[in-house]
Amino acid sequence: MIDREQVLHVARLARLELSEAEVERMATELSGILDHIERIGELDLDHVEPTSHVVALENVLRADEPESSLSRERALAGAPDAADAGFRVPSPGAS
Amino acid sequence: MSDLVELSAAQAAERVRAGEVSPDELFAAYRERAESEELGAFLTVSDSGADDLAETPLAGVPLAVKDIFCVEDVPTTAASRILAGYLPPYTATAVERLAAAGAPMLGKTNMDEFAMGSSNENSAYGPVRNPWALDRVPGGSSGGSAAAVAAGLAPWSIGTDTGGSIRQPAALCGLVGLKPTYGSVSRYGMIAFASSLDQCGPITRDTTDAALLLRHLVDGGHDRRDSTSVDFPEPIELPSAERLDGVRFGVVAELAEADTIEPGVKALFDQTLARIEELGGSVEEISLPHTEHGLSAYYVLAPAEASANLSRYDGVRFGMRAGDGDLLSLYERTRSEGFRAEVKRRIMLGTYALSSGYYEAYYGRAQRVRTKIAEDFRAAFDRVDLVVTPTSPSVAFRLGERTQDPMAMYMSDYCTVPMSLAGVPAISIPAGLSDGLPVGFQITGPAFSENRMLDAAHALERAIGFDTSPPRRGAQAVAT
């Protein structure tokens, strides 16, 4: 049902690098799980509204007032590579 | 000091108030046990609690906290390598509220990585053993929290439940586990798995302790830092019911009769129904016709939400980083080395379900199934006060028994997922032992019916008289 090419496509979307063995296993396992899941295809759901959230809430707002937040230092404290008051990453084009 | 470990948290609090033991002594007694344990239940143990807690509502009785809750400057990993070394700059509301009520954090407990699992075997920091049988799993994902309380390494604990992660480990470890109505407890600082389902709740030795923790978890109401949190409409009372006169219980035909339910579990379920009737309650069969599709809907919705929530782990702002090439390979290498198999599987599943061309067939349909399941519950609660099912289809299984078969592992959630999808509260209490292993009985009610649910659970708990102490003696033997 879900083949190697699809696994590689989804892995790329999910930013996961899978080993050859993981690709094989993922294809088998995801197919098995999707087999089970696809039973919901049997239900007649044409006129049913989707539920994204169980508690009826609408536009939970607060007053738009400035207040203190996490300091820059604190926000950067856990970064693997902080530099010049920011998060340093390799250039998207580097290799 | 060792007899202290036999007390429930409420009883320990009474001893503190009577001046028989100080909060410091209580903390030290548990700290010593938590530090020397060999079940794999704790990931970190705190140095000390605060010493002026005797006059607080929770009297300084220490609390084990699932490692999914951020605590300022305390290592918080969600049992994942990708968060190794992470020190949160803030504290989860749940932990903050319980600490303010007088329950200092004893330590952080082991769990399935990012709360994905039913056995605690998906932790990057090793499995947890069930104190009732050391070759068996404690359940998951809050496996460390449950094992710690059962083994007397902690008086009580909090966990999180997305599809059964509080109730199933509580059942497998012979404890009380309560998943509150969605929205009752703030999710601020609780590492997100599936945001529309995740809910924090207590794992305790009895229903009184569960009510005490819940009372302070919901106290304070809406948290402005979690826009989905709501005011609980009434205070949580300590349960006192001894009878069930006039209470109507519905037995879910589709769940109680499913062939996935082990005979030993079914036998204790039927025995508990008989007790309900002895206590004056009535039992009738009801139907939740869409619950059999609950698991399918859940395993679309939860992975879909997880795939979005876990995109934040990219090696840039916190946690581990791997890869030394370009930015894309940094993302991919970090995530591939940081996540374990189950988390990758769910990210893949969720990404697939949300991807172009499949969205409506999977995610859209699953959201509609969710509506049908919520409607099923509403119709049921027009006829009965509470609905009951077994908590877990099986007793604790052996370590390794289900790790090669994801679908078999997912079946652990068969009876607990429907309530999560509907957002209604549910509690698991011990019903007895099957071949020496605990079996859970699940009670669920309409949204915000926690007081009624706890009262029914309390009456049954008294009638059943389950002895939670054997694993504490066992764990001591292991530790020495």
What residue in B sits closest to A88 (Cα-Cα)? B316
Contact B366 A14 (CB under 8 A): no
Closest chain B C-alpha to A71 CA, distance in angstroms: 10
Record the tokens describing residue B65, joined without a space.
């906290």
- Interface list for A 24-53 with B (CB within 8 A): 26, 29-30, 32-34, 36-41, 43, 45, 48-53
Q: Based on the residue annotation, tell me whether B141 is a catalytic residue of this protein.
A: yes
Whether this model's ipTM surpasses 0.90 comes out as: yes
Question: Which 8-state DSSP code applies to residue B402?
Answer: S
The domain spans of chain B are 2-289+372-479, 291-371
What residue in B sits closest to A40 (Cα-Cα)? B293
CB B164 within 8 A of CB B212: no
Contact A81 B290 (CB under 8 A): no
CA–CA dist B87, B70 (Å, integer) = 8
Contact B317 A78 (CB under 8 A): yes
| pLDDT per residue rounded down to tens, chain B (480 residues) | 558 899 999 999 999 999 999 999 999 999 999 999 999 999 999 998 777 899 999 999 999 999 999 999 999 999 999 999 999 999 999 999 999 999 999 999 999 999 999 999 999 999 999 999 999 999 999 999 999 999 999 999 999 999 999 999 999 999 999 999 999 999 999 999 999 999 999 999 999 999 999 999 999 999 999 999 999 999 999 999 999 999 999 999 888 777 889 999 999 999 999 999 999 999 999 999 999 999 999 999 999 999 999 999 999 999 999 987 899 999 999 999 999 999 999 999 999 999 989 999 999 999 999 999 999 999 999 999 999 999 999 999 999 999 999 989 999 999 999 999 999 999 999 999 999 999 999 999 999 999 999 999 999 999 999 999 988 876 544 443
- Identify all chain A residues contacting B320, using CB atoms and an 8 Å cutoff: 80
CA–CA dist B269, B275 (Å, integer) = 10
CA–CA dist B131, B146 (Å, integer) = 10
Interface test mutation site (partner A, options B188, B340, B352, max chain A beta carbons within 10 A): B352
For B2-289+372-479, CATH number out of 3.90.1300.10, 3.30.200.20, 3.30.160.160, 3.30.300.30 equals 3.90.1300.10
CA–CA dist B352, B287 (Å, integer) = 33
For chain A, domains (ranges, CATH) are 1-41 (1.10.20.60)
C-alpha Rg value of chain B to the nearest Å: 21
Q: Based on the residue annotation, tell me whether B307 is a catalytic residue of this protein.
A: no
Record the tokens describing residue B157, joined without a space.
């604990």
Record the tokens describing residue B332, joined without a space.
């991919």
Sequence-ordered alpha helix ranges (H) in B62-152: 93-100, 143-150
CA–CA dist B262, B269 (Å, integer) = 11
Q: Which of B296, B307, B315 minimises the CB distance to A40? A: B296
β-bridge partners, B439:
B432
